[in-house]
Structure 1
Amino acid sequence: MSKGKRLLSMTGRFVFIVGLFFSVYVFAMFQGGKVSWTIFYMLTPFLLYSIALFVYPMNNIKAERLIRTKTIESGGKLAVTVKLTRTFPFPLLYTVAIEKWADPAMELKTKKLSKHIFLFGFKKSVEFSYEIDKLPRGEHIVEGIEIEVSDFFGWIQKRAFLELKDVILVYPNTTSIKYVPINAQYDRGSLVSPFSLVKDTTMATGVRDYQAGDRVTWIHWKSFARTQNLMTKEFEDRQSEDIIVLLDGRESNLFEEQVELAASIVEEATNHQANIAFASVGAETVMFPFIHSSDQLQDVFVHLAKVRPVVEEEVQPLSSTLEASAGSIVIVTSHPDWAFLQSMMSFVKNTRSVICFVLVDTEIALPLPTQLQEQIRYAKAKGITIHALSRKQFAQAFKEVAS
């Protein structure tokens, strides 16, 4: 109902109540007798309350929201406490408070959970809590709280929307991946160790001026104590190599699994101090060329919480490139068609190898769709390492590639 229609309805109800009050009074005056005056005196408190409720200012009510769950992953629980306060203790009877969400799907999912019916009475404050289970990944916006109050018989019903915006970010789930590098080498022979692209931080070879993005643990504090200039330790590299993770943002039934795998790879690499970059390709290309700190990793996870798939026609051509130092591209997709893979390879320069994780919704023992088999066969013929895997195989993803 529009605001104009609601106001017209309220005015009509008020006129009805005032008219009823005078009608009962006139009836008692002309009719006389105990019965008519009893009816008048019985209805008077209810009618006066309805009139007082009509003029009661709903903007007297203020709201606060406390989100008790700080970090939520996909499928997790949101716990919220809402507190309503006011300065004028008018006796409110039937009060309904309900959270209003920007997303209609969330509105439908939470309607019964976030709706609270209570008797406000003369209290100046009241609070209620609710929990929502199995939240989907994404950015969920709660716009405010709608308050509805009513008199005894529902003659007067007043609503007010208390704007109170909060953004709930639900991050993708992550899996602890056992990384076995493909190109892990020192100057002599090969080495199987976690992340070939980490620096050997046990052996400092010198110092240099501090640069933005350097880790705090790399600062040479003795030099700082002597010179008052920040200096950063330089370490012996294990053959400097970059990993660039590319997420296919095209629409897919397995898009959530793609996001989870990409998040798991980036998190594992950052925890091992890898030289890693991340980019997602969709309606626009979003790049994170340096992920060295927890804040930079958080920026990636915020993006992965918000990212939404787009139809292939809306995918924008890549407008820039990332530079890699003899590194590897890791592509996460469920549609490994050659046109897409080729555009991804042109996006990154100076690469050593291309690894493509193809997400499937069946166990590998089962036959894959014919079209998917043909796409994988063609990509392998072009020199791309392809590994098809389901969600259950995330932990062993890189081990399978290396085998």
Structure 2
Amino acid sequence: MKDHFRFVGSLVLHIVLIIALFSFAMFQGGFTSWFLFYSFLPISIYHLALLFYPIKRWRVERKQLQHMVRAGGHVPIHVQISRKLPFPLFYCVCEELLPPTLNKLDTRKEKYVYLHQPQKLQVRRRIKKMIFPWFRRQIRLSYELQHIPRGVHQLQAIRISIGDVFGFVKKEHVFLLEDELIAFPNERPLQLAEKLTSFQQGTASSLAFNLKNTNVASGIREYIPGDRFSWIDWKQTAKKNVVMTKEFEQEKSEDTLIVLDGCYHERFNALAFEAAIELTISLIGAIQQKSSQVGLLSITSETVFFPVQHDPTKREGIQQHLTRIEANGERHFAEQLKQELVRIPGTNSLVIVTTNLDHALSSFLQKIKQRKRKVHVFFIDAEVNIRDEQYNAVQQLQLQDIHIHILTEKELLQSPIEVNTW
């Protein structure tokens, strides 16, 4: 409707100007009056032709070199515009209509400088390019999306605007072009402290990835990335026509379940939640590289569970889930965790990644420890946001032999991330 009124207004304005100049020349007479009329006539004809020029018949294509990238990466995009009629155009403005999901920046580990002020990473992206096509039928332009945040981003449309040199005529059209851009979460290198790889009460810690007994093979399974070349069972590989690797005794006892807290709470920190996602996928990668079995329990308004078992396709499913996950839900994390652990078979070790360590979660973890389960908790938040009651909860959990790892901006800015017990 707005475009319709603009078109009618411009058309009426030009017709009135032509009639006014013609009337002035007829009544005034003389060289000057007719010179003004004939000088303005070509411009008026061009403006009228521009008003009726069918911009919507242009063919616009968006060409992405990449549809998948790691969070914080850059994606070059090329736009090609084709038109059949070489109508002279003074300028053309191409604007990418970006989705709200791109209105924040991800500068990878450098973003954690603002862990206590995540709103500083909120931006309003605008990508506009001006070109001067004149008589060209093929128009090409390029731009780059930088610091792409984690998630699935739907690029839906491009707005094309044209006009005359005086600004009397302005036309625009929105071309619907749907493309999907997926930004996977970053995997950060981890350096586990010696406390995490020490023997306790005669058994190896569940995070002792470097302690493996590779002398006694108890079975075979399909090869997964990270398995050693020497573990491949060549006879079974030839028989099944699938790469098979040996499974050892200790592998079966090193089951680890990672629980990601995605519940929204009053003091929720969106940047700390991004760090929790990066830490989760990094822990999964570190465990799988040592051929240990790992599962994931993601708790938001909906619970998603990836069982603790060797499955070559599980890693891809976890990565897709952690790409799309958003913090939400009204129920408390400790309450939902209690219900879910009843349904899930017991595992050797429980690793909880959370951004909210409160009294309810602390009390529940102490009950879990009484069942002789190994528990590690990764608590992520800005140093200035950690309150006295959370430090008290950490002390109580430490007395129960529950390992607490506090990650603030200091640790998150390091590469690799050094994980120490508080």
- TM class by shorter chain equals 0.7 to 0.9
Distance of 1:301 and 1:344 partners within structure 2:
27
Which residues in structure 2 correspond to 1:242-253 (within 5 Å)? 242-249=255-262, 250-251=264-265, 252-253=268-269
Match of residue 352, structure 2, among 302, 326, 331: 331
Match of residue 60, structure 1, among 25, 35, 57: 57
Task: Indicate the SS of the match to 2:20.
Answer: helix
Q: 1:96 is matched with which residue?
A: 93
Q: 2:117 is matched with which residue?
A: none
Matched, 1:273 2:291: yes
1:245/1:332 contact within 8 Å kept? yes
Structure 1 unmatched ranges of 5 or more: none
Q: 1:195 is matched with which residue?
A: 209
Matched, 1:264 2:282: yes
Distance of 1:122 and 1:292 partners within structure 2:
61
Letter matched to residue 337 of structure 1:
D
Q: 2:8 is matched with which residue?
A: 11
Distance of 1:224 and 1:132 partners within structure 2:
44
Q: 2:128 is matched with which residue?
A: 115
Q: 2:376 is matched with which residue?
A: 355
Q: 1:291 to 1:158 in 2, by over 3 A?
A: farther
Match of residue 151, structure 2, among 114, 130, 138: 138
Structure 1 residue 236 displacement after superposition: 2.1
Structure 1 residue 149 displacement after superposition: 0.7
Structure 1 residue 69 displacement after superposition: 5.2
Structure 1 residue 358 displacement after superposition: 1.3
Structure 2 unmatched ranges of 5 or more: 105-122
Match of residue 84, structure 2, among 69, 87, 91: 87
Q: 1:341 to 1:310 in 2, by over 3 A?
A: farther
Letter matched to residue 195 of structure 1:
F
1:290/1:296 contact within 8 Å kept? no
Deviation track 1:212-236 (CA, whole Å, cap 9, x = no partner) reads: 99x998886645656x776955522
Letter matched to residue 11 of structure 1:
V
Structure 1 residue 122 displacement after superposition: 1.5
Distance of 1:271 and 1:146 partners within structure 2:
47
Q: 1:396 to 1:143 in 2, by over 3 A?
A: closer
Q: 2:247 is matched with which residue?
A: 235
Structure 1 residue 116 displacement after superposition: 0.6
2:197/2:208 contact within 8 Å kept? no
Letter matched to residue 301 of structure 2:
A
Q: 2:112 is matched with which residue?
A: none
Deviation track 1:345-370 (CA, whole Å, cap 9, x = no partner) reads: 999xx98311101124239xxx9521
Which residues in structure 2 correspond to 1:239-388 (within 5 Å)? 239-249=252-262, 250-251=264-265, 252-253=268-269, 254-289=272-307, 296-310=314-328, 312=330, 317=336, 320-321=340-341, 323-324=344-345, 326-340=347-361, 352-362=373-383, 369-381=387-399, 383-388=401-406
Deviation track 1:182-208 (CA, whole Å, cap 9, x = no partner) reads: 5888xx9759996279784x8755558
Q: 2:109 is matched with which residue?
A: none
Q: How big is the alpha-carbon RMSD for the aligned residues of Structure 1 and Structure 2?
A: 4.1
Deviation track 1:158-194 (CA, whole Å, cap 9, x = no partner) reads: 1100111233333333321134695888xx9759996
Q: Give the structure-2-normalised TM-score.
A: 0.75
Structure 1 residue 5 displacement after superposition: 2.8
1:324/1:351 contact within 8 Å kept? no
Q: What is the identity percentage for the equivalent residue pairs of Structure 1 and Structure 2?
A: 26
Q: 1:43 is matched with which residue?
A: 40
Task: Indicate the SS of the match to 2:373.
Answer: strand
1:362/1:390 contact within 8 Å kept? yes
Deviation track 1:45-97 (CA, whole Å, cap 9, x = no partner) reads: 21111111121112222222233456544444343222222233222222111
2:79/2:142 contact within 8 Å kept? yes
Task: Indicate the SS of the match to 1:22.
Answer: helix
Structure 1 residue 241 displacement after superposition: 2.0
Distance of 1:193 and 1:341 partners within structure 2:
21
Task: Indicate the SS of the match to 2:61.
Answer: strand
Structure 1 residue 312 displacement after superposition: 4.7
Task: Indicate the SS of the match to 1:56.
Answer: coil
2:73/2:148 contact within 8 Å kept? yes
Q: 1:224 to 1:376 in 2, by over 3 A?
A: closer
Distance of 1:159 and 1:291 partners within structure 2:
55
1:325/1:351 contact within 8 Å kept? no
Distance of 2:98 and 2:325 partners within structure 1:
19
Count how many residue pairs are aligned between Structure 1 and Structure 2: 386
Task: Indicate the SS of the match to 1:20.
Answer: helix
1:329/1:351 contact within 8 Å kept? no
Indicate the structure with greater strand content: 1
Q: 2:185 is matched with which residue?
A: 172
Q: 1:146 to 1:17 in 2, by over 3 A?
A: same
Distance of 1:379 and 1:164 partners within structure 2:
53
